[in-house]
Chain A
Amino acid sequence: MADTGEVEWVENQIGRLVPRSINGEELTPYCGPFNAVPRNDRKHGPRLGYIADQTSEVIATLGAAIEKVGLKDGMTISFHHHFRNGDMVMNMVLHEIQKMGIRNLTLAPTSTFQCQEDMIIKCIKDGTIAHIEGGSARGEFGRLVSSGKYLDKPMKIRSHGGRVRAVEAGDIKIDVAFVGAPSADELGNLNAINGPSACGTINFAYVDVNFADHVIAITDNLVEYPNFPMSISQEKVDYVVVVDKIGDPSKIASGELRVTNSPTRLKIAKDTVTISDLLGYVKDGMNFQAGAGGISLAFNEYLHKLIKKKGITAGWAQGGTTKFLVDMLKDGTVKKLITGQAFDMVAIENMKNNPNHVDLPIGAYANIHGKGCTVNKLDVVVLGATEVDLDFNANTATMSTGIIAEPVGGHSDTAAGASLTIVTVPLFRGRFPVVVKRCTTVVTPGETVDVVVTERGIAINPRRMDLLEKLKHAKVPKEMRICTIEELNRMATDITGSKVEPNWGNKIVALIEYRDGTIIDVVRDVVPKYYDDAVYVDKDRE
C-alpha cells in the first residue's frame, strides 16, 4: 500500500492533491471534464480464438472451464452485477478458484453487492485476491478497503463509463470474464430476458466479453441452439458451464419499489421537478435520467404528472429502469426507454416484448473515449450524493467519516453529459451536514453540477449564469427558496455543527479515477478515533 509520505503530490484542477505516480504507474491529474485525450493510440486487443470444427462449448464443471482457459496466479478476472444482491456467480467462481489454489488475482467487477462481501473478504485475507480494480466498493467490502490493511495496491474507483474506458484502453486487462447468463445455448449465445434468473439485460458485460482474453458463460438455463436474441454472441464466448442456479430471483429484482413517504424527500423531489420546469427543461422531447432511490422515483412520479398536465411527450429516459418509467412508456408520456439495469420485474418483463424499450452497451451510455454516448444527449439528470461542497463538487464514494461506502455508478458520466445536472440531497443526515465547505472525497467535479436541491433551499451553480438569468424572470413558488450554496452550508452547520474531518491515516487506499482516466482525488485509510466501528472490524479476530 502506498504511503502518503512516499509519493510526490501535485495539485489537480480542482485543488486536490493527487500523486504523480504510484507503484511505478504514471498518473495524470484531473484537468477539467473534457480535456484529457486518450493516452493510448489504440484499443487494447483480446486474444484471437480457435474453434476449428467444435460444435459445442459446454463444459461439465466450472473447475474444468477455469482450467481450460488457463487461469493462473496474478491474472485479472471480472464479473457483472446484473443479479444485484441475488448474485450467486461470483461466490461460486471465487470458491472454485480458492479450491484450485490460484492466488494473487485482481478482481475487476462492474460492482459488488452485500451477498458477495463475505466471499470477497475471505479471498482477500487468504491471498486469492490481491488487488481490486473498480468499479466501486461498498458495505463491509468498502470498509475493508478503507482499513488499508489487506490490499497491496490502492483500489481504483471508476464510474460506469470510466470502467469501460479503462477496459478498452487496457488499463484493466481482463484475462477471464465470468458472465452469468440467464439463458445460453451450447455455443454461448446469451441473453438476459429468458430463464429463471432473468434480469432484463447483461449490458455491463458487453465490454468485458469484447476485451477479455477468455469468456466463461455460466447459466442455469441451457436452451436449444440458437438462443435468440443473441445479446452476447457466440463469437465472444469460450465456454459454457451449466449450474443449478445462478441467482435468487427474489433478490435480483426488487419486488415493488416504493416512492418514499418521507415528507422532506418528497418535497425535494417535487421542487426538483418544479425547478427543472422553471428553468425551461420540462419541454416536448426532453430526455432525462433519474435513478431508483426514493427521491428519484418520486421525481419520476412528479415529472410524469407534470408532463401529462402540460400535454407534452418526453423523448427518452434511461438509467436503471423501473415500473415508474414503464408506466410512462405505456401511456405515451415518454417515447423510448434505454435500460442500463432493470430494477424490478415490470421493467424486466417489459424489455421482453416492447420494441421501444432496449438496453445499450455501457460504453454507448457513458464512455467519454468512445465515439458517442447517450449521456451527452441528456437534458436533465437527477443524482444523489453523500456530500456536496461550496464548489458544487459531489462525493458519492465515501461517507463523511472517510470510509468507502457507496457505489459511484454513472454519477460523473451523466453529470458531465447532461445539460442540466441536479444533485438532490437532504441538507443534513443525522449529525452530518451534507452541504459542506469541502467534500471529504470528490467524485464528480463541480464544473459539471448545475443545481443542488435540498429541502431547505436550492442553489444554482454561479458558473451557470444562463440559469440564474432565467430564474430572474421566473415566478418561484413561495415554498421554494433559491439561495447560494454558502447559505445552504450555513443552514446545515447551524443545525449539525461544522463537519468533522475524518481521522485519516497515512496510506492511500483508493484513487478516484475520473471518467477520462485522470485522477480527481485520493482516499486514505481511516484510523478509528471516536468509534471503533468507524472502520472495518476484523470479525475473525474478535
Chain B
Amino acid sequence: MKLRRSRLYVPGNNPKMIPPAGLYCSDVISLDLEDSVGPEFKVDARMLVSEALKVIDFGPCTEVTVRINPLSTPWGKWDIEQVVCEKLSGIYIPKVESVEDVIQVDEMVSRMEERKGLERGRIKLFATMETAKGIINAPEIARASKRLEGITIGGEDLTADLGGERSADGLAINTARSLILLAARAAGIQAIDTVYSDFEDEEGLRRETTMIKKMGFDGKACIHPLQIEVIHEVFNPTQEEIRYAVRVTNAIERARKKGSGVIALGKKMVDRPIALKAERILARARAAELSIPEIEEEG
C-alpha cells in the first residue's frame, strides 16, 4: 500500500524552498509549476524544477511529483517534455474536466518515456478536479488511464466555480468531496483532499483532516511543512485501533486453524467489514512504520 497521507506543495520557482523540501517527510512532494508560479516565471520554474529533479536527493521517504500546467495553456506540453525523467514519480494534472485531459497527458508521458529511454508506465498520474464539470465527470476520469493512482479536488477553484464560499464546515465543496471519493473507490484508486489554506491554524487543520479521514479520504494536500505532522497524526491509526486490528486478525487466524467458519472475538462476531477494516488499519500502520504489538490471547 502506497501511503499518500500528506502532499506538500513546493513553489517551482523558489530555489530556496526546493532543496530542503524532502526533509519534512511528507509522503508526497508536488513541485508546482501551476498556481504558485506567475505567468512571467513559468519558464524559469520549469527549468528550475527539471534541474532540481536531476540533482537533488529528496530523501527516501518521499514520492516526488510535479504539478504541471493544464495542456490547454501554452506551458503544459513543455512542462511534460522537460520534467519527465528518471527521478520523477508522478504528475499531478490540474483542472481536469474530461477523460481526454488525462489521456492526452498519458500519451505524452509515454512518448517522453520512450524518447528518454525510461521504463514504460512507471510515472503515475493524478487528476485534480476543480470545476463542476470535472466533478460530474469524475467517475469516468478515474478510469481514464492505467497510470492514474489517485484523484483529488481543488478547493479554491471549485468553490469559485460553484459560486459558494470557503468555510470551516466545507459546506460548498463537501458534496464534491463525496463524489470524488465515490469515483475513486469505484475505480479502485486513492482519493486525496484539497489544502487547508491557513497554515497557522493547527486546530482548524486538525478538524478538517479528521472530517475527511472519516469520510474515507487517503490524504490531504498541504502548503506548509508545519501541516504535515498534524495530517499524519490524524491519518495514522491510534494504538487502540492497531491493538483491536491485531486481535481481529488473531481471531481470524485461530478460526482458520480450527477450521471453524464462525469467527468470534470475545462475544462479538467478526464479519467481513470488520476484517477488511482491520486489514486496512494494519496496512496503514505498517506503511507508516508504527509499532504493532503482539497480543497473546487465551483461545
Binding site for B on A (CB under 8 A): 263-264, 266-267, 455-456, 475, 478-479, 495
Contacts and interface: CB of A to CB of B under 8 A. Distances in A.
B61 A263 contact: no
A455 B25 CA distance: 12
A275 to B, nearest CB: 15
Interface in B107-140: none
A263 B224 CA distance: 8
A267 B23 contact: yes
A424 to B, nearest CB: 14
A465 B197 CA distance: 45
10 contacts: A263-B224, A267-B23, A456-B20, A475-B291, A478-B25, A478-B61, A478-B289, A479-B23, A479-B24, A479-B61
Contacts of A266: 225-226
Contact of A267 (B19, B225, B289, B291): B225
Nearest to A457: B23
A478 B291 CA distance: 13
Main secondary structure of the interface of B (DSSP, over half): loop
Given A478-B61, A479-B61, A263 B24 contact: yes
B25 A479 contact: yes
The listed residue with most B CB atoms (<10 A of its CB), out of A455, A456, A478, A479, is A479
Contacts of B61: 478-479
A344 to B, nearest CB: 20
Interface in B256-299: 289, 291
Interface of B: 19-20, 23-25, 61, 224-226, 289, 291
Top 4 A-B residue pairs of the complex, sorted by shortest distance between their CB atoms: A479-B25, A263-B225, A264-B20, A455-B23
The listed residue with most A CB atoms (<10 A of its CB), out of B24, B289, B291, is B24
B291 to A, nearest CB: 7
A475 B288 CA distance: 13
A264 B21 CA distance: 9
B226 A263 contact: yes
Contacts of A267: 23-24, 225
A5 B230 CA distance: 60
A264 B291 contact: no
A475 B20 CA distance: 24
Contacts of B23: 264, 267, 455-456, 479
A306 to B, nearest CB: 13
Nearest to B56: A495
Given A478-B25, A479-B61, 14 more contacts: A263-B225, A263-B226, A264-B20, A264-B23, A266-B226, A267-B23, A267-B24, A267-B225, A455-B20, A456-B23, A475-B291, A479-B23, A479-B24, A479-B25
A475 to B, nearest CB: 7
A495 B19 CA distance: 10
B9 to A, nearest CB: 12
Contacts of A456: 20, 23
Contacts of A263: 20, 24, 224-226
A257 to B, nearest CB: 16
A495 B18 CA distance: 13
Contacts of B225: 263, 266-267
Nearest to A426: B20
B2 to A, nearest CB: 16
A263 B24 CA distance: 8
Contacts of B19: 495
The listed residue with most B CB atoms (<10 A of its CB), out of A264, A455, A495, is A264
Nearest to A270: B229
A330 B256 CA distance: 58
A479 B289 CA distance: 12
A263 B21 CA distance: 9
Nearest to B17: A263
Contacts of A264: 20, 23
Contacts of B20: 263-264, 455-456
Nearest to B200: A261
A263 B225 CA distance: 6
Nearest to B290: A475
A209 B225 CA distance: 50
A479 B61 CA distance: 8
Nearest to B23: A455
A264 B20 CA distance: 7
Contacts of B24: 263, 267, 479
Nearest to B26: A479
